[in-house]
Structure 1
């Protein structure tokens, strides 16, 4: 199998399927894993510790971003993409045989953290690598559409993770799921990893990187150069990516936990609703990418950030009623806004940097935000409710984050805007 056979969009997106599938599965089965690795009489305390491990994977992302930034800007986009998908498959496979606290005591949560850190290193390079690759191989006027496939793969991974978790809940008893059934979804990650490696075996380098090689315009220290020459752009990437990190993990990874553990009455089919909402979002993303090409990606980003900022609180209040209809409609609305945000983010970040600094500059800003705010979103949302007793408290956090991202989005200057000035 080669990239020629599969096409650049699928080849670029497949790594995100694997990496977001695994991160999503962990989020979905966290309530089941908590008792296996953090036995405690307080269920909420064990859950917070488990989501803390979830966040630990994100703390390794900036390191992974620096590592893969060096590889992507010095050795090539394809080399970084091939390495990242291979690095993710190994720790994902080991999750299926990880011993529990009852078997090895304190070593169990330590091993769990080590595997999460290894996965975080890989994720630090995969998303940025695929978004850079897809934007660079896109034809003129199609950069938003092509870049949207990066998040298409990510959401597909989330969708598959949610679907597999839902299937496990339907096929296994609660006792089976809590003891050994939570391991089964991680086997799917191994299969995706093997397929991804095969698809990327014959990956072609982008024309922009080939031109960099031809002209000798390759930086020896791209990470350092990006921080020295384009610190504002790094900060802008961090700002516009903030809502993506907090939004996707609050609304589509943590949400099933929220609906089954905090909302009264609990939503029994929360995973199914979550899966359907992500499927809806997946369908919308290519359309949102095309819309970004037609009316400008900045316009779509602004509208999406504004939409989440205005609707987060009322939609959370509505979901707190415990109505299946309310939850389904609210998740559908969130899916519309998140589709616009995700479809246009890749091109927005890529266009902030010249090709020689693109991989590194984007990786630093994006991964720093995802480490500090994205991976900690489920932990922080759970803590907010436990601390305040207010089920709508995560919505206020989302609102503030949306406003911050909106301001950063307004601050960026697109290539089209620069041309009009000149």
Structure 2
């Protein structure tokens, strides 16, 4: 099979699987307002939403554990096998949410079951982004690695668009009363057939050429996580720093904003999902172009531009949303969307280029999921808490600006890696005699 055709097949199969994974995982954030009303006992919708976002964050707590488990497996037995496993777990758990009894039916048991299913989702998600990024980076040619790896985020945002668009469609067709009563279950139940599609595509792929080369030469790492922590601490630190604004930006746009528009700014449900659907679609469209630019001009300029954009535009964007006008709110989404698209266009390749092939999956899984668990997992909850405690609807912008500053300072210290070949082996430290250390 010609390389270009094979690469397109790999891109499509990996991307569709990633789409399914994040459609499943992101549905909870999209439907957080409905979940808050059905699984928690709270008279105030804002407090119910806060409880819902707390469980949303609980799923992220499991991501580092999933990253440890699946990352190690991915470096020892292969990327493809792990990616097929995580899609089974995530789709199955998401399907179960659509079948769970509510608080009014079984009381606290409903909340407990929701938390358990969300923990399974989080554990599985710990292997997805690291695996998909590793897989595509190891297939892509060096001079186009930014473009091909950024499609991971493109498919991820398209999944968010599909989730938001589906909720918008169902709310429009069924009405808010029916949607609140039983229609919210439909998107979760769709996870079953979608999961089978993603599973089929992934099982018909070969593993990455980089990993297969290591396997043929018997050079796979026996203890990849130990090796990563002992030899690649600097790279792990850079990866965590890169992911801070990536995590906050993603989950601010996908999970916090839809609920924020309805509960705090009093937009109609259909208006809120219209704003987020078109805003996220614009991000998805922009990401591949930004990936192309990162191959031409480097990873650092695009990532720095995204961070600066968040620092300068987050407060004005939240101010536009607070005007209560749908056009202004959509413009605000686009302003924030340009920032995350610029960053995402370069970040996947930059992260993959930090680590050698022998430990790439596990290293990304550790660092990526630690950053996402803390910064991404708390984003909806902490943003909602800031609004409640401060009484200022613009206060979540301060959190985004702080996250962008952390990543900005990290990128400033990083080296440019665009166009360089991927590292395959670990660079061990040398002793005083110049020999490799043990």
Given that 2:136 and 2:148 are in contact with CA atoms closer than 8 Å, whether structure 1 keeps it comes out as yes
Residue 131 of structure 2: aligned partner: 129
Please report the TM-score for the alignment, with normalisation by the length of structure 1.
0.95
Residue among 210, 218, 237 paired with 1:208: 210
Residue 248 of structure 1: aligned partner: 250
Q: Distance in 2 between matches of 1:33 and 1:376?
A: 17
Please report the TM-score for the alignment, with normalisation by the length of structure 2.
0.92
Q: CA deviation at 1:268?
A: 5.4
Q: Distance in 2 between matches of 1:396 and 1:66?
A: 32
Residue among 395, 398, 416 paired with 2:397: 395
Note closer, same or farther for the CA distance 1:98–1:265 as it changes in structure 2 (3 Å cut). Answer: closer
Q: After the TM superposition, which residues 36-55 of structure 1 pair with which residues of structure 2 at under 5 Å, given as runs?
A: 36-55=38-57
Residue among 17, 20, 24 paired with 1:18: 20
Gapped regions of structure 1 (runs ≥ 5): none
Q: Distance in 2 between matches of 1:136 and 1:239?
A: 22
State the SS of the aligned residue for 1:414: coil
Q: Distance in 2 between matches of 1:19 and 1:386?
A: 32
Residue 346 of structure 1: aligned partner: 348
Q: CA deviation at 1:79?
A: 1.2
Moved more, 353-362 or 338-347: 338-347
Residue 432 of structure 2: aligned partner: none
Residue among 60, 67, 70 paired with 1:68: 70
Residue 416 of structure 2: aligned partner: 414
Q: 1:96-135: CA deviations, max 9, x gaps?
A: 1111112222111111011101011111101110110001
Residue 141 of structure 1: aligned partner: 143
Q: Distance in 1 between matches of 2:320 and 2:202?
A: 44
State the SS of the aligned residue for 1:39: coil
Residue 156 of structure 2: aligned partner: 154
Residue 372 of structure 1: aligned partner: 374
Residue 191 of structure 1: aligned partner: 193
Note closer, same or farther for the CA distance 1:84–1:417 as it changes in structure 2 (3 Å cut). Answer: closer
Residue among 372, 381, 384 paired with 1:382: 384
Establish whether residue 177 from structure 1 lines up as the match of residue 188 from structure 2. no
Establish whether residue 284 from structure 1 lines up as the match of residue 286 from structure 2. yes
Q: CA deviation at 1:157?
A: 0.9
Q: After the TM superposition, which residues 263-278 of structure 1 pair with which residues of structure 2 at under 5 Å, given as runs?
A: 263=265, 269-278=271-280
Q: CA deviation at 1:292?
A: 0.7
Moved more, 209-218 or 259-268: 259-268
Q: CA deviation at 1:31?
A: 1.0
Residue among 203, 206, 217 paired with 2:219: 217
Note closer, same or farther for the CA distance 1:30–1:264 as it changes in structure 2 (3 Å cut). Answer: closer
Q: Distance in 2 between matches of 1:111 and 1:352?
A: 39
State the SS of the aligned residue for 2:415: coil
Q: CA RMSD in A?
A: 1.8
Note closer, same or farther for the CA distance 1:266–1:104 as it changes in structure 2 (3 Å cut). Answer: closer
Note closer, same or farther for the CA distance 1:97–1:338 as it changes in structure 2 (3 Å cut). Answer: same
Q: CA deviation at 1:23?
A: 2.6
Q: CA deviation at 1:214?
A: 2.3
State the SS of the aligned residue for 1:220: coil
Q: CA deviation at 1:198?
A: 0.8
Equivalent residues, number:
417
Note closer, same or farther for the CA distance 1:165–1:418 as it changes in structure 2 (3 Å cut). Answer: closer
Residue 435 of structure 2: aligned partner: none
Note closer, same or farther for the CA distance 1:120–1:411 as it changes in structure 2 (3 Å cut). Answer: same
State the SS of the aligned residue for 2:143: coil
Given that 2:167 and 2:273 are in contact with CA atoms closer than 8 Å, whether structure 1 keeps it comes out as yes
Residue among 293, 296, 307 paired with 2:295: 293
Given that 2:166 and 2:187 are in contact with CA atoms closer than 8 Å, whether structure 1 keeps it comes out as yes
Gapped regions of structure 2 (runs ≥ 5): 422-438
Note closer, same or farther for the CA distance 1:242–1:113 as it changes in structure 2 (3 Å cut). Answer: same
Q: Distance in 2 between matches of 1:105 and 1:251?
A: 32
Residue among 330, 333, 341 paired with 1:331: 333
Q: Distance in 1 between matches of 2:53 and 2:255?
A: 11
Q: 1:56-93: CA deviations, max 9, x gaps?
A: 11111001101111111000111111111112111111
